[in-house]
Structures are given as structure tokens and as C-alpha cells.
Structure 1
């Protein structure tokens, strides 16, 4: 029996799947941050923990794995690979490769060997591959270097909206009571003073409150989410134009918790509008499986064979996030 291992190392979690040649999941592992740019020691430890958990569950060792494919957030430039290659080599897999997490999300979301992917989870990133195999990445580095959004930014935007409504710079918003209740404060002044005095930062979970408020037609929350959609749309347009895909038929895969688990159409509508302006034959697809599935498929294909039907079909059904 042949076994394949795929890893998705993101900014908030690392997930590992091991599957056999029939597509049966033999082992699973999960841990925390897998992005070395967030913290090298944490990422190294979490990737190892996730991998070893999956191996132990499957009753396998590294030499039993036909191929291991690592899709890692932060694998953006050669300087990153200089750091990541020795880190991953220490795991002991005789046959493995590393790629950016954008590529495993793209592979998980489309049956075509090319397309565009927009990631909006803890952070944001966008990339694409055209039919000729040319790759282009737009963003994924920081607000300073042109990005906007992802949970790390949106939770701050939600917090700022409450402060700005309180001091008169923004209209009243339902976010005020939602944020106060979530953080356990009786007033905005109490929250303001406590955060200022203790140099606190808003927790990532406040991002969810934007959708809660938007569902109740809160214009402030809707405007923040609209900006996220517009910015992702601009990134998609940049990738499409750079790769010359305006007249192609392809999929734009939306990945990351902010765009895949959110309710309503507060972000996606603006992405669709932007994409249609430059590539009217493109299709928008919301990723319905964990990106780690794409890593497993790429692990199989890296051995030089076409992806077997049983592996594709079985893992295509893995859409329940509680499985990990």
C-alpha cells in the first residue's frame, strides 16, 4: 500500500493528512501556527507536531510515505525557502517538496491545472497559474507592502469602528454593544482606557462580529466588509492581467475562513464584480474542502502519476471542518 502526506501550514493552524492509494485517510494531525514569518520556533514545532500526530495515528514512519507535500504560509520568496528547506528536511521525509499555501488551496478548489486563488483567513494572499504554467503572486506580505484585510486587520477595524463611533468620528454602530459584550466591558471609555493603559490588541475573534452586525444591516460593518471584498477583487484583477488570462475560462478559488465560512454576500459580491470586469468567463468558487486536501493531491501528482479517481473522489467529499 502506498501512502501520501499533505501539510497545510497557515498563520493560525497546521493540518496534516495521510491517505492511502484508495483515498482513505489513514492519519490526521493538527497544531498551531505554521508560518515561520510569524514565529520560526513556533512554526517548526507545530509543523513537526502535526506531522508526527498523523504518522502515529496511521502507524507509519517517514520512509513509508511515497511523497510529502508541504503547503506553507510564508513560503513566498527564495529567502523564505532558504529558511524552510532545512526546517522541513529535519522531519526526515526522503521525498518531499515545499510550496506556498496558495497553491494547495488552488489545487483543492479546481479540477484545472491553472487558475487564480484568493486567500483571506488570518491574513490575505493572492496568486495564480496560467495555462502555460507561469506563476504570479500579488500581496501576502503586509499592510505596509500593499495588503489590506484578513482577520488580523478586520478585528482591528471592528475595534476601531467602536472607538470612532464613541468619540464622534464615525456613525453609531451595532458593533459597539457586540464588542463590549464580547470583551466584557461596561462602557467604551472603560475599554478605551484599559486597552490604552495596557497596550492590548483586539483578539482575532472580533472579526466574526462584523458579519453579525452586517446581518442586522449595520452600515459600518457592511462598509468594512465591502472594503475587504473590493481589495480582494483588485488583487484578482492584478493576477489575471499579469498572467494574461483575461480571455481564458478558469476558476477563481476563494479560500480562508473569512471568505469560506462567512454568511451573506458582504465580500464575495465585490470580488465577483471585479473579476467579471476583466475576465468574464471566469468562475468564482468558494473552497468547500480543507486546503490540506490540495496538498495531498499535489503529493500524489509529484510522483509523476495522474491523480487516481478514488483519491480525488474520496477527498473531494471531505468538507466537514470538524474532521480535523
Structure 2
């Protein structure tokens, strides 16, 4: 029986699923991050190889011989032609690996290399038509229509973009707290909230935390729940920050819809990422706003994980 591999490679985690031609997952493995832009190609290779190895070892409890006929790698940071060339070379290395108990039977057309937004779309919805709004540390909106046309909005990183993301919410919250402390902004509970969460004697000590400790993007993004909780408790400034984040996401999603979908067409928008789990009803507000503009769409949470979406894309190539 032919089998396929689906790889979800993110900045902090790599997931591999082994699937049969019916779409059943027979093995699943996890490893460290595999964004080669940040950790290098050698470390990326090791993460992907290990995730595959774990998935294969799990599957070998029920099957003996595993022949891989298709593979899809949905990796963070992969979008340009040069990126795809690098990952293709990585696939060649995987086929030559001595530690993977696999028989490879790959044709060039059965090797799918794409960004992680595409596999999040396919995994989240269960097929390859619709829109994914991925909002965690960063943010990106990606859509594909029935004709195969795609549109991406955002995903430009924390300096150039990532509107609506946890990082931008956290930075806006700290900025508002400092403006309030200065007297440039109306009073807000965010001042005391940041002081308590970070154990600061004074809100001015944010300078030491952010600059002298050299906090990174993920550490700063992890402060977004402070703003979320303040908004949920009724703080006006915090609510304004959350509302602005939601409107940015609505605008980005609307841009994708207008670009590739005909009016009144029916499709789903899947929302993935930590920001959607907020207590200040970000998901509900976003859903109501986008459905008001496009009444025929449905906003959903993911049905399956991105790695499963990668497996489905591998199956599609093997069946066509």
C-alpha cells in the first residue's frame, strides 16, 4: 500500500504524520523547530528527520514495509523560489538518510513544498478551498479559491506587519500604559496590570525588562493576555486596542475575499492561533464583523491540525 508524509514545520515545533491512501493517520511524530531561515538548514533537516522517524516507528507497530509515494512539507519562512530549491535538496537528503526505515518512491510531481499557511488552511477546513486567518505571535491571512488562485495578506513579520497579532497587541498595551503614566492618555488599568504581572516596582521599569533583558518577539507577544484580560474587565483603552486588532484582521480577510472569491459564493474561513482564544471575545467580534460584510461565509475553528493538511496535499498529488 502506498503511504504519504505530511510535514508541518514551524519556528518552535515540527509535526509529521504518516497517512495511507484513505487519509487515515497511522503514525505521528514531533520534533523541534524547522524554520531554516532562523535555525539553519542542518538543524531543520535534523528536526524533520526526527519527526518522520517517530511517526514511522509508531506506524511500524501495525505495518512492516512503508513505501512513501508523496510528501508535503509546509514550512514557516518558505515562499520564494530560492526557498523551495533549498527544501528540495533537503528532501533528497531525507531519501538518502540511513536512519529512516523507509522505501522511497517519489516522483518530482509528488513532492509538495509550500508555506505553513497553506497547510493550516487545508488542515483547518479539510480541503483546499477557503481562507485561513492565522493569528498568534504573528499574523497572516491566506486564501485559495476553486480555480486554484491564491491570495496572501500580511505575514510580513513583527517590524513590517503582523497587524492584529499577539505581539502588536502587547506592544500597543505597553505603549498605552506608558502614555497613561505620562499623562498623554486617559487612565487605564494596564499600568497596574503590567506592574503586577512583571513584578515591577514602577511602570518605568518596563525599560529594563524590554531593553536591558533583550526580550524577543515571543516573550513580548506572551504579554498580550494582559491586554485581553483588561479589555474583558471593561478597561476602555484595552478595549480600543482589541477593537483595532479585530478591524485589522477583518480588513485583511476582506482583502483576500475581494481578490479571489466571487460575490455571494459559499466557503469557510478557519481561524487558527492563540489570539482567537481570548476572553475579550475577539473571535466573536471578528466573526460577526466579517459575516456582516460577507453573509454567505462561515467562520470555524480548525477541524484538523496543519500536519494533517500537509498529508492531504500529498494525497491530492498522488491521486491526480
Task: Verify same fold: TM over 0.5.
Answer: yes
What are the superposed Cα offsets for residues 94-121 of structure 1, whole Å, 9 maximum, x if unpaired?
A: 5332122222122123255421221112
Q: Runs of 4+ in structure 1 displaced over 6 angstroms? A: none
Q: Return closer, same or farther for 1:282/1:203 CA change in 2, 3 Å cut-off.
A: same
Counterparts of 1:129 and 1:172 in 2: how far apart (Å)?
44
Q: Do 1:72 and 1:100's aligned partners in 2 also have CA atoms closer than 8 Å? A: yes
Query: 1:310 is matched with which residue?
Result: none
Counterparts of 1:221 and 1:32 in 2: how far apart (Å)?
35
Consecutive unaligned residues of structure 2, counting only runs of 5 or more, are 96-103
Query: 1:78 is matched with which residue?
Result: 81
Please point out which of 138, 160, 172 is paired with 2:175: 160
What are the superposed Cα offsets for residues 229-262 of structure 1, whole Å, 9 maximum, x if unpaired?
A: 1111111111111114222111111122222x33
Please point out which of 299, 313, 319 is paired with 2:314: 299
Counterparts of 2:32 and 2:171 in 1: how far apart (Å)?
22
What is the Cα-based RMSD across aligned positions, in Å? 2.9
Q: CA offset at residue 21 of structure 1?
A: 5.2
Matched, 1:15 2:15: yes
Please point out which of 257, 271, 274 is paired with 2:274: 257
Q: Do 2:67 and 2:105's aligned partners in 1 also have CA atoms closer than 8 Å? A: no
Q: Do 1:272 and 1:284's aligned partners in 2 also have CA atoms closer than 8 Å? A: no
Counterparts of 1:288 and 1:172 in 2: how far apart (Å)?
42
Query: 2:99 is matched with which residue?
Result: none
Counterparts of 1:145 and 1:61 in 2: how far apart (Å)?
49
Q: CA offset at residue 303 of structure 1?
A: 1.3
Counterparts of 1:44 and 1:272 in 2: how far apart (Å)?
42
- Size of the aligned set, in residue pairs, is 303
Q: Do 1:16 and 1:50's aligned partners in 2 also have CA atoms closer than 8 Å? A: yes
Consecutive unaligned residues of structure 1, counting only runs of 5 or more, are 306-324
Q: Do 2:126 and 2:309's aligned partners in 1 also have CA atoms closer than 8 Å? A: no
